[in-house]
Amino acid sequence: MLDNSVAQPAQKQWVDRAKGVLPGGGFGNFDPSIVIREGHGARVWDEDGKEYVDYLIGSGPMILGHDNEEVVEAIREQAGKGLTFFASNRHGIELAEAICQALQCAEKLRFVSSGGEADMFAMRLARAHTGRDLILKFEGGYHGMSSDALISVFPDRLENYPNGVPDSAGIPEQVRESIYVAPFNDPDFIRQFLDEHGERIAGVIVEPLQRLIPPEPGFLEVLREETSKHGIVLIFDEVVTGFRLAYGGGQEKYGVVPDLCTVGKIVGGGLPLAAVVGQADIMAHFDKSVVGKDRFTLQIGTLSGNPLAAVAGLKTLEILRRPDSYDRLRRNGEAIMGFLRDALDQTGVDYQIVGDPVLFDVVFTKRSVKFYRDVLKADNSLAGRFNARLRQHGIFKSPGKIYPSLALSSSDLAWTQNAIMAAAKQLSAE
């Protein structure tokens, strides 16, 4: 019997194989119909050799681009000395020092392996420190895959605040009842809600730039003021914004300092590493000798602070500290924003470019976007068609974000400009 699979494109073969062993045919992260073979600089190639300019960049970590020579060399050198030890290692300690020097809230740090894990521990620390049970988050805010986090991330059924909606099966009702949900960018709601319930709230967790939506002037300041007033731990989820909005993250960009923050993505240089960082008295709950058995927060992770990820993170942060790194990153983003405006202005469709030059996307709506429900009311079907056209023209991005990188070249930007113009013209013709 002939094996006809050899005549199939390589990508289809891998997609078919994935369907045999992976639920949904993929890793659960991204469109499983595309299988990436390799990446260099600001470009990736799929298994059929189709080339793309990459604005997904691993969902954010590859701020330097793929295959950065200095990062690869640091990984290669460490790989010859050991991949992981479970015990402490000098590179993890050096990276902890670098992160604590960079972030204003950071006096102590504990490594974990993913941003979602860091967020989970940050909420647990807030409960341990305050002796309270309830967490307040913001509708549309993403804080990983823990049960606490998966409340009203992308609800299609809208409840009256502060009631939340579980985003997944398998979340107990008592978890939903322990998470309150608020609208982002609504300081009046925060003041009123915390005046009524503040003595029961352990922590408020927020992305300082929520997915794409920037904080309105004064909003983060209100969070800081009100949480301090009620003895609540303020947590900035900086897994995305840390070392992207600025070297010191959202707390540097917006001038508001939380009690705790979480970082990930960039700090591992493309390898699995994240951390929860913050004030020494809160972080002390990880140290039984300081807080005692009853207030101790247990945290163990096989790969936490492993040396391979640590050297990749150290080299990445070193490169980001070099002159002009952030100015260049912003110039790249501003150029792409300009391409989008030039192309979409000719279509007559309603749109907003939402975010910051280092992280943004198009939302197809005429209204300003201030919180999750504004995005929900946008023309998401039009966004899907536009993204599909962009991919046809060699732009690789998530359905809701554009991540510029430092690897973008003039030819990458020219390709991007042409692809955006072609995709916009196709929208006009539909």
Instruction: Find the DSSP H helices in 22-80.
Output: 69-79
326 and 405 Cβ atoms separated by less than 8 Å = no
19 is catalytic: no
Rounded-to-10 torsion of CA 34, 75, 97, 297: 60
Q: Report the b/e string of 103-137 with b at 16+ CB within 10 A.
A: bebbebbbbbbbbbbbbbbbbbbbbbbbebebbbb
Looking up tokens 């793309």, which residue turns up? 52
Catalytic residue among 52, 54, 119, 142: 142
54 is catalytic: no
Catalytic residue among 265, 370, 397, 401: 265
**Half-sphere exposure (Cβ direction) of 411: Cα atoms closer than 13 Å:** 4
Catalytic residue among 54, 237, 361, 374: 237
142 is catalytic: yes
Rounded-to-10 torsion of CA 312, 262, 124, 141: -120
337 and 362 Cβ atoms separated by less than 8 Å = no
Beta partners for residue 421, in sequence order: none
- Residue type at position 370: K
Q: Which residues are catalytic?
A: 142, 237, 265
